Structure 1
Amino acid sequence: MDRLDDLMAFLRVADAGGFSAAERSTGVPKSRLSRRIAALEKELGVRLLQRSSHAFHLTDVGERVRRHARAIADEANAVRATVSEAQAEPSGLIRVSSSLLQGELFLAGWLAEFMGRYPKVTVSLDLSNHYVDMLAERIDLAIRVSAAPLAAADLVARPIGTGRMVLVGHRSLVERHGAPHSIAELGGFPLIAQVQGESVRPWAFRGPDGHELNYQPQARFVSNNLLALREALLGGAGVAQIPREACIDALRTGALVELLPALEPPASTVYAIYPSRRGLAFAVRTLIDFLEERFRGGA
């Protein structure tokens, strides 16, 4: 059918409830609207509406055509909005929530990069490991990592990347000791590990057969703060398992070397969580796309 203008004229009349009302709301003369609908009915071979001097109603077919016409109009509006956004510049305040770990290790730096790219954007970053009521606290976007799918009735959880741990050591350390070829050989290296309470957190790996393997490091340096672990790594103090996002720059420059890559640790999913798909601010949508690019390793 090559009569989209006629179809939109029909939709305007149907939505307005008559030709006179459509003329008042659109400014298009009702005689022109009538001609367009007559042409559409002729092409389709069906009557879309019934009217008299006292009544106006859609036929059953007209009601169905109206629903399809509405869907087409909505898609056309979405295309226009997409083009307008592509030509616009993100601006305004974005309230972001994240865990302490994510915020300290990499998210704050990525947000600074985002603001450098879009100078009209301002960001308020709230770091907390506690539950956040996004609606009550007017949070625009939350970043969370979970091994299980996230779901909430009043929130949208969009996967934007994969978070995984990597086993790394400083280049100079690997040059002196050589790279380990198995988990058993890790005992010959100085190790750096995270503590939770009074316990050293075990390292998780996934073997070639897909089964999870746990290794309890006998660490030379321990801390409950991953920033401290990263600094110890960069200082050449040992080998550690830390989030990939926390050391991606050092891996790219070669300062840190990934070890035992065949025993990749189990991965978790990184989610961008926001209140609703409808009415999502352009700046927030742009930030989500930017973070997805970063989590997926984009430059």
Structure 2
Amino acid sequence: MTIDDLNDLYLFARVVEAGGFAAAERDTGILKSRLSRRIAALEKQLGVRLIHRSAHAFNVTDVGQSVYKHARAMADEAQSAVATVADSLNEPSGLVRMSSSILTAELYLAGWLGEFMSRYPKVRVSLELSNRFVDLLAERIDLAIRFSTEPLASADVVARPLGLARMVLVASPALLEKYGVPAEISDLAKLPALGQGTLEAVRPWSFKGPHGEVVLHHPEPRLVVENIIALREAAIRGAGVIQLPWDACKAQLESGELRVVLDQYPSIGTGVYGLYPSRVGMPAAVRALLSFLEERFRSVY
């Protein structure tokens, strides 16, 4: 079954949203008699009643509600296409409200945002630093950068992959001298460990096994903390073994304060995501910043 005129679906959506033909006439400027004819033609093509209407009542049928959802989605996609074209013709400008963790800002964004703003001089950025997961809609955040081992998308949020952060298992030379260098993942149980997260939810360490399989190790940490810098400093002082982002400890590895452990079983990377509300018509400034960050993250990973 095909529909001769997709405009009829759009008009149907407008009538439903207005709550009647008279109100839709006021909203659209299209005579209600014409709206009624177009909806009747749509019903005839589909072979179903979409609206029960009388002189005193206007009710959308169950199948009409289903058709409305699809018609609304079609209209939103069309509007998004128009917005995309309009954005491509205009220089990005305006304010972007952004969120990231403190460490992400220190390691990456602090240096990159200056480059971005030189490229797009009409864009302003407000960066909120927080280690919690912000509510993008409630807090009016346009873009959040988050690292996660699991997908972060939801009904209201789109998660765009930007890269894969390299992870590495590290310990201090003194700790390895005291407890011995582990040869297998199972040997990690013999060493004191540090943990990222909370007492109720310590993040497991993930490795690539000898046959390419994913191997998880659930540490029983002496110290549990969310902050990666605190974990790095505790590891330097011999408090335990910890899996960290490479960029957060590469200077300490180069200086010898930390050593890589079990490098024959590479740590599995953590996904870097750009999160943004799943709304129609992303502003050009947000789109430009998201594309720029994807370019930069992929250049370092």
Name the TM tier (shorter chain).
Answer: 0.5 to 0.7
2:111 to 93, 109, 124: 109
1:145 aligns to what?
147
Q: 1:77-96, CA deviations, whole angstroms, 9 ceiling, x for partnerless residues?
A: 22222322333332223344
How far has the Cα of 1:103 moved from its partner? 3.3
Shift of 1:278: 3.5
1:119 CA displacement: 1.0
Which consecutive residues of structure 2, in runs of 5 or more, have no partner in the other structure? 169-180, 182-193, 195-205, 217-235, 238-246
1:91 to 82, 88, 93: 93
Output the aligned Cα RMSD: 4.8
Once the two structures are superposed, what CA deviation does each residue of 1:233-255 show, in whole Å capped at 9, x if it has no partner? 7xxx899989xxxxxxxxxxxxx
Alignment correspondent of 1:66: 68
State how far apart, in whole Å, the 2-side matches of 1:164 and 1:9 are: 51
The alpha-carbon deviation at position 125 of structure 1 amounts to: 4.5
User: Relative to 1, partners in 2 of residues 1:147 and 1:228: Cα closer, same or farther, differing over 3 Å?
Assistant: closer
Map 1:13-92 → 2, pairs under 5 A: 13-92=15-94
Q: Hey, what's the Cα distance between the residues in 2 that align with 1:120 and 1:110?
A: 16
Deviation at 1:55, TM superposition (A): 3.9
- Go from structure 1 to structure 2 and tell me whether the alpha carbon gap of 1:262 and 1:116 turns closer, same or farther (over 3 Å shift): farther
Amino acid at match of 1:73: A
Separation in structure 1 between the aligned mates of residue 269 and residue 39 of structure 2, nearest angstrom: 57
Give, in whole Å, the separation in 2 of the partners of 1:56 and 1:161: 51
The one-letter code sitting in structure 1 at the alignment partner of 2:120 is: Y
Q: Deviations over 1:43-84 (max 9, x none)?
A: 334444344444444445444433332232222222222322
Computing the radius of gyration from Cα coordinates, the structure with the larger value is 1
For the residue of structure 2 that corresponds to 1:94, the secondary structure is strand
Equivalent pair of 1:134/1:140 in contact (CA under 8 Å): no
SS at match of 2:30: coil
Secondary structure of 2:270's aligned partner: strand
Alignment of 1:167-182 (within 5 A): none
Contact 2:99–2:127 under 8 Å retained in 1: yes
- Read off the aligned partner of 1:94 and give its amino acid letter: V
Distance 1:284 1:42 in 2: 43
Q: Within 1, Cα distance between the matches of 2:49 and 2:154?
A: 45
> Given that residues 163 and 298 in structure 2 are in contact (C-alpha distance below 8 angstroms), is that contact kept between their aligned partners in structure 1?
yes
Q: Deviations over 1:250-273 (max 9, x none)?
A: xxxxxxxxxxx9875542222335
1:161 aligns with 2:153: no
For the pair 1:288 / 2:295, whether they are aligned, the reply is no
In structure 2, distance between residues paired with 1:84 and 1:49: 35
> Taking structure 2 as the reference length, what is the TM-score of the superposition?
0.55
Q: Which residue of 2 aligns with 1:215?
A: none
Unaligned 5+ runs, structure 1: 167-182, 184-195, 197-203, 213-222, 243-260
Please tell me whether the aligned partners of residues 162 and 293 of structure 2 are also in contact (alpha carbons under 8 angstroms): yes
Partner of 1:118: 120
User: 1:277 and 2:278 equivalent?
Assistant: yes
What amino acid is aligned across from residue 79 of structure 1 in structure 2?
Answer: A
In structure 2, the residue matched to 1:250 is none
Q: 1:98 to 1:52 in 2, by over 3 A?
A: closer
TM-score normalised by L of structure 1: 0.56
Give aligned pairs, total.
235
Q: Which AA in structure 2 matches 1:292?
A: E
Which amino acid in the other structure matches residue 278 of structure 2?
A: R
Distance 1:90 1:262, change over 3 A: farther
